[in-house]
Every structure is written in structure tokens, then in C-alpha cells.
Amino acid sequence: MAGVNDLTIGRTLRVLRRRLGLRQLDVARRVEVSQQLISSIERGRIGTLSVATLRRVFAAVDADAVMLVRWRAGELDRLLDEDHAAAVTQVAAILRRLGWVVVAEASFSEYGERGSVDLLAWHAASRTVLVVEVKTSITSAEELLRRHDTKTRLAPKLARDRFGAAPVQVGQLLVVTGRSANLTRVRRLDALLASAYPVRGRSVGAWLRRPVGDLRGLVFTAPPATPAARTRRPGTRHGAASQR
């Protein structure tokens, strides 16, 4: 979505609606709200509107409404990067203790697909490659599943390139930091995530120690021990995977 102020949000809705040849009434019927509400949004009057309703309205014009939070002139991006890097480091250390060879931020460019894997891990004894996606928050579950699936599909070739061997087993692991907001988000998305990541908690830990068969798993970890986290939660123990 262009911009973050109320008037720009309203203008964006109006432009997209007109581009699709829709009337305000058409959008209102799709969302099951009043035409007056659509009109108010287009005039930038969204102060009392729920985020859920705003997302539904933009979905009706084939767009995603994504919330953007600003803090101290860009310092928020740095903090988010720190949290993600700390979480990746935490998970990599656990895997190495369990006997995995780990490559962080393993970049790829294959068949028109480009990106990087948070953690690409290799278990030599079982010839297993593991594709780990680490999330400090989940915004779009559909995008997460699509990107993780792409990386997992490319995993056999990545394993040959990085570790010099063809895998006989492939693991797909989503690691989510166990903040309360993430726990709530995963519960709400469980109907979708359960089919993509059916293995949870202790069963994931057992597989990591002795990989047998392919894995599609999800685990929570404690929030990473960044300076910000230590300030918020003094005395909290970090580093162990949560068995939820």
C-alpha cells in the first residue's frame, strides 16, 4: 500500500476501485458493509476502523493492506534485524550441538527463483538436508508457505552444491519465536499451518536428533536474548526450544 497516512490510504482505495471499474456500492457488497463506509474510507476517515475491516476492504479490490509501524526514524528496522539474527544464531547453535552442519543465509538462484535460506543444514549420517525458516513474526501465512515450499523444493540441489552430496531425506522446519503475539497468531492460523507443518514440539526434537523420513515441522523458541529482550524480561532464560 502506498503511504501510511489516512488520506493516502483513502486515495489508494479510490484509485484501485476505479481501476477495476467498480462503484463504491460494488466494493461495499463484496465486503458486506455499507456504501457510506467505503465513501468514508476514501475520504481518509479511518480512525475508528478495525484493521480486519480495512484488510477486507482492500482484499475486495485485489490488494493487501499491510500495517506499517514507524519508530525513531528507521531504528525499528535495525531492531527487527537484530531479533531475527539473534533467533537464527540461537537455532543454528542448537542444530550444531545435535550434529548438523549449518549454513546461514544460504543464497540461491535456480530456475528463475532467487532468495536465501535462513538456515540450510546437513546431517551426514542420514544424508538429510533441512530447510529452516526462522520467523520473529508472521504477517502473511500464504506468502510464508509459498516461499518455504520453494526453498524446500530446491533443497536437494542446494545440498549437492553446498555439501557435495545428494540427500535421501528432506526436512522443512518453521521456527517461530515464542512471543505471546506469535503464539496467538499461530493458533488463529492453525487450520492452515497444521496441514503444512503437522509435526510439532517434542516430535521435532526427536527427529532432529535422529532424522528418519522427511519432516514438515513447527517449533517455538524462547525470544532471542538480545539486549532489548533482556531489558524487557530480566532474568528470563534463553536458548532452549519451547516444547509446545
Distance CA 219, CA 205 (A): 9
- The domain over range 75-242 is classified in CATH as 3.30.1230: no
pTM of the model: 0.63
- Do residues 64 and 140 lie in contact, with contact meaning Cβ atoms separated by under 8 Å? yes
Could you count the other beta carbons within 10 Å of the beta carbon of residue 232? 10
> Where in the chain are the domains?
6-59, 75-242
- Fold: same for 6-59 and 75-242: no
Rg of the Cα atoms in the chain: 21
Tens digit of pLDDT at every position of the chain (244 positions): 444 688 889 999 999 999 999 999 999 999 999 999 999 999 999 888 888 899 999 999 998 887 766 665 555 555 567 888 888 999 999 999 999 999 998 988 887 788 899 999 999 999 999 999 999 888 788 889 999 999 999 999 999 999 999 999 999 999 998 888 889 989 989 988 999 999 998 999 999 999 999 999 999 987 655 444 444 444 433 343 443 3
Distance CA 91, CA 174 (A): 11
What number of CA atoms fall less than 13 Å from residue 54's CA on the CB side? 20
What's the CATH class of domain 6-59? Answer: mainly alpha
What pLDDT is recorded for position 200?
A: 94
What pLDDT is recorded for position 225?
A: 55
Could you count the other beta carbons within 10 Å of the beta carbon of residue 74? 8
Whose grid coordinates read 475491516?
A: 53
